[in-house]
Amino acid sequence: MPPTHCPSCGKEFRDHTSIARHMSQPRSGCNTWLQDLIQLHSTLPPSEDSADDPMAAGNIGEPHESYHEQVEGEYFDGGGNWSKDCEAEVTDYFPEPPLAFEEGYTFLSLFDADENSIHRKMNLYYPFSSWKEWEVAAWLLRSGLSMGKIDSFLSLEMLSGPRWKSQVICTSHSTKTPVILYWRDLLECIASIFNHPLFHNRLDLTPRKVYSTSQKLSRVYTEWMAGQHAWDMQSALPHGATLLGVILSSDKTCITTLTGDRVAHPLLISLTNIHMNTRLKSSSNTFLLTALLPVPKFVHKNKRMKGILQDWLVHQCLDIILEPLKSAAQLGVMMSDPIGRSHYCFTPLASYIANTPEAMMLACVGGKTSPVTMAMYKQFGDAFRHEPRTKSTTLAQLDIVHSHADPHNLEAFFREAQKFRLNGVEKPFWSDWPLAEPSHFFTPESLHHIHKQFYDHDAQWIIIAVGESELDFQFLVLQPTTGYRHFHGGISKLKQVTGRCHRDIQRSIIALSADAMPPGIMTSVCALMHFRYLVQSPCIDDDNLARISAALDEFHANKHAIITAGVRRGKGNTTIDNWYIPKLELMQNIVPSIHSSGIISQWSADATEHAHITEVKNPARSTNNNNYDLQICRYLDRAGKCNRFDLAIEEHKGDDIDEDADVEIVAMEIPSRAQRPDQPHPITDYFTIAKMLQHKKAGSIPIPLCSFVVGRTALHLTYDPSIRNISVDEVAVMFNLPDLRPALADFLHRKETSEHRLHAISGPRRAGPEAELPFDKLQVWFKICLQETEFHDTHEIRPAQTLNCAPPSGPWTSGCYDTVIIQTNAGQSWPTCGLSGHLVAQLRLLIWPIGKSGTPWSWEDQFIAYLQRFDISNECDPTTQLHVLRRSKRSNGSWMGDIIPVSQLRSPVHLVPRFGATADTRFTAYNSMEHASEFWLNYFWDKNSFFALSA
pLDDT at site 136:
59
CA angle 942, 943, 947 (to 5 degrees): 125
Task: Give the β-pairing of 242-243 and 342-346.
Answer: parallel
Strands (E), 300-431: 333-336, 342-346, 349-353
pLDDT at site 762:
87
Reported confidence tier of residue 681, pLDDT bands at 50, 70, 90: low
Q: Which of 371-380, 535-544, 558-567 has the lowest mean pLDDT?
A: 371-380
> Is residue 373 within 8 Å of residue 423, measured between CB atoms?
yes
508-547 burial code (b ≥16 CB/10 A, e <16): bbbbbbbbbbeebbbbbbbbbbbbbbbbbbbbbbeebbeb
Q: How far is CA 311 from CA 15, 185, 291, 601, in A?
A: 74, 22, 16, 27
Reported confidence tier of residue 897, pLDDT bands at 50, 70, 90: very high
Of 77, 57, 89, the C-alpha closest to 712 is 77
Angle between the N-to-C axes of helices 33-43 and 686-694, in degrees from 0 to 180, rounded to the nearest 10: 100
Q: How far is CA 42 from CA 58, 281, 662, 799, in A?
A: 12, 20, 11, 19
Of 530, 517, 379, 377, the C-alpha closest to 450 is 530
Amino acid type, 116: N
Reported confidence tier of residue 950, pLDDT bands at 50, 70, 90: confident
**HSE of 754, CA atoms in CB hemisphere, 13 A:** 11
Reported confidence tier of residue 254, pLDDT bands at 50, 70, 90: confident
CA dist., res. 441 & res. 247, Å (int):
9
CA dist., res. 604 & res. 535, Å (int):
12
- Which are the contacts of 319, defined by CB distance < 8 A and separation ≥ 6? 427, 429
- What radius of gyration, in Å, describes the C-alpha atoms of the chain? 31
Please write down the HEC assignment for all residues of 663-706: CHHHHHHCCCCCCCCCCCCCCCCHHHHHHHHHCCCCCCCCCCCC
Q: What is the mean pLDDT of residues 586-598?
A: 91
DSSP 283: G
Give residue-wise pLDDT tens across range 749-763: 888 777 777 889 988
CA dist., res. 460 & res. 804, Å (int):
33
Q: Which of 36-50, 404-418, 657-671 has the lowest mean pLDDT?
A: 657-671
Give me the percent of the chain exceeding a pLDDT of 70. 75
CA dist., res. 194 & res. 351, Å (int):
17
pLDDT at site 139:
58
Q: What is the mean pLDDT of the chain?
A: 80
> Is residue 600 within 8 Å of residue 237, measured between CB atoms?
no
pLDDT at site 710:
94
Beta pairing partners, 168: 180
> Is residue 319 within 8 Å of residue 349, measured between CB atoms?
no
* Most confident option among 756-770, 834-848, 856-870: 834-848
Q: How far is CA 833 from CA 74, 724, 762, 909, in A?
A: 11, 38, 21, 15
Q: What is the mean pLDDT of residues 564-587?
A: 88
> Is residue 506 within 8 Å of residue 760, measured between CB atoms?
no
> Is residue 883 within 8 Å of residue 872, measured between CB atoms?
yes
Amino acid type, 891: S
> Is residue 192 within 8 Å of residue 288, measured between CB atoms?
yes
Query: Higher-confidence residue: 560 or 71?
Result: 560
Q: Which of 170-184, 624-638, 719-733, 857-871 has the lowest mean pLDDT?
A: 624-638
Helices then strands, each counted (H, E), the chain: 35, 33
- Residues written for the chain: 951
Q: What is the mean pLDDT of residues 116-133?
A: 61
Query: Higher-confidence residue: 571 or 802?
Result: 802
Phi and psi, residue 452, nearest 5°: -70, -35
DSSP 837: T
- Which are the contacts of 98, defined by CB distance < 8 A and separation ≥ 6? 205, 206, 240, 241, 242, 243, 343, 344
pLDDT at site 654:
57
pLDDT at site 159:
46
CA dist., res. 327 & res. 630, Å (int):
28
Amino acid type, 492: S
CA dist., res. 709 & res. 324, Å (int):
52
pLDDT at site 108:
61
> Is residue 542 within 8 Å of residue 896, measured between CB atoms?
no
791-814 burial code (b ≥16 CB/10 A, e <16): beebeebeebbebbbbbeeeebee
Reported confidence tier of residue 113, pLDDT bands at 50, 70, 90: low
pLDDT at site 606:
84
In this model, does residue 85 exceed pLDDT 50? no
Q: How far is CA 81 from CA 118, 201, 794, in A?
A: 49, 21, 6
Q: What is the mean pLDDT of residues 602-623?
A: 81
Query: Higher-confidence residue: 263 or 914?
Result: 914
In this model, does residue 229 exceed pLDDT 70? yes
CA angle 894, 896, 899 (to 5 degrees): 130
**HSE of 94, CA atoms in CB hemisphere, 13 A:** 26
pLDDT at site 529:
96
- Which are the contacts of 713, defined by CB distance < 8 A and separation ≥ 6? 786, 787, 788, 830, 905, 906, 907
pLDDT at site 391:
83
DSSP string, 183-247: EE-HHHHHHHHHT-GGGTT-B--S-EEEESSTT--SEEE-SGGGSHHHHHHHHHSPTT-EE--EE
Give me the percent of the chain exceeding a pLDDT of 90. 44
Of 266, 290, 593, the C-alpha closest to 445 is 593
Task: Give the β-pairing of 219-221 and 208-211.
Answer: antiparallel
pLDDT at site 614:
77
Give residue-wise pLDDT tens across range 129-153: 555 555 656 655 555 555 554 554 4
Q: What is the mean pLDDT of residues 353-382?
A: 43
pLDDT at site 376:
41
In this model, does residue 77 exceed pLDDT 90? no
Task: Quickly list H helices, 368-479.
Answer: 371-386, 391-404, 410-418, 438-441, 446, 453, 459-466, 468-477
Task: Quickly list H helices, 24-93.
Answer: 33-43
SS3 97: coil
Q: Which of 51-60, 242-251, 522-531, 862-871 has the lowest mean pLDDT?
A: 51-60
Q: How far is CA 529 from CA 134, 468, 519, 940, in A?
A: 53, 20, 15, 8
pLDDT at site 107:
62
